[in-house]
Structure 1
Amino acid sequence: MVAVTETFPVADQGDWMGDAPADFGSLLSHAFELGDWINNSAFAAEYVYWKQRVQQDDEAHRIIKQFDKAKEAFAECERFGRFHPDYNAALERVYEIEASLDRIESVRRYKQAEASLDELLGEISRTIAHAVSNSIKVPDNDPNPKGCGNGGSCSCSSGGGCG
């Protein structure tokens, strides 16, 4: 961990601090300010609203309990691999209950709000990381990885070793 009193060299890009070196305390202060802006955004407000609606939805709770039980049953089958006699039926049951959950408006809208907020956070993370260096890897929840070393396409000629 970096000591709070340690200073970092001035970044080439951006001029929010002029020529002064950035100290860790100042960086943290700006990070918390950014966090406050995100918390006060429409994306966060919608996420919190629909999360509360799901928490108050009795039908959603009932189906979530069914979903948890179905996932447990499938996990038990999965321990033995797809050759377990109930593997396909257990997996199909998980998908059926998940589809039932997605038909509930509060759950569906919560998932949409969560995805929107996640996309915003990912974009902010990429913007910050790429302001430092384009080769910094930024984790996200995208199931389709991009770039070098992730099975995605990359324009570099290093054979997958960049980043």
Structure 2
Amino acid sequence: MATVVTDVNILQEAEQFSEMIVSSDVFQHYIQIKQDVQHDKEAQAMIHDFQALKEKYEDVQRFGKYHPNFHEISRDVREFKRKLDTHPLISAYKVAEKELEDLLNEISQTIAFSVSKAIKVPTGNPFFDQASSCSGGCGSGGSCGCN
């Protein structure tokens, strides 16, 4: 019976915690920018064009440098990606996405460390990964140096 009560309490606290995240300024900003990108015709056209170019690139990658258009398509993808990344709305979206990711990584780390400092939380962020005494790659058979 005590286990059921504890489970219910944990679920209720998790629900409250998720509501706090969803109502945070970081999350709300992310959602607003995402909607702005979704409703911006220029940004959507650029994303669509980039996806088509990526498909060509993936076809060319099957043959690598031996494909007759390898260098041309590779260059086109890099140039278009740069153009896409510098579009003001898409750039703002990427910044908001990174801020949300950082918030979620920090929350994951805090929760894990509240249970035990020995829990490894791969975040993809070298600062947090070093803080957890793990370089993020523990699949190397113990040679990563984790404690």
TM bucket, shorter chain: 0.7 to 0.9
Matched position secondary structure for 1:23: helix
86-95 or 54-63: bigger deviation: 86-95
Aligned partner of 2:26 among 43, 65, 73: 43
1:69 pairs with 2:52:
yes
- Determine which of 109, 114, 117 is the counterpart of 1:134: 117
> Moved runs in structure 1, 4+ residues, more than 4 A?
143-146
Q: Against the structure 1 CA distance between its residues 91 and 136, is the aligned structure 2 distance closer, same or farther, given a 3 Å change threshold?
A: farther
- TM-score under structure 2 length normalisation: 0.80
For 1:64 and 1:27, the matched residues in 2 are separated by: 41
1:54 maps to amino acid: V
CA contact (8 A) 1:54 1:106 kept: yes
What amino acid is aligned across from residue 160 of structure 1 in structure 2? Answer: C
Structure 2 unaligned blocks of 5 or more: none
| Matched-pair identity in % | 35
CA displacement at 1:81 relative to structure 2: 3.3
Written as runs of structure 1 = structure 2, the 5 A alignment for 1:1-150 is 7=3, 23-142=6-125, 146=130, 147-148=134-135, 150=137
Q: Does the 8 Å CA contact 2:122/2:136 hold for their aligned counterparts?
A: no
The structural deviation recorded for 1:70 is 1.1
Q: Bigger shift: 139-148 or 58-67? A: 139-148
Which structure has greater helix proportion? 2
1:91 Cα offset (Å)? 2.4
Count of residue pairs brought into register by the alignment: 140
CA RMSD of aligned residues (A): 2.8
Aligned partners of 2:60 and 2:67 also within 8 Å:
yes
Residue matched to 1:11: none
CA displacement at 1:6 relative to structure 2? 7.8
Tell me the distance in 2 between the aligned counterparts of 1:143 and 1:73: 33
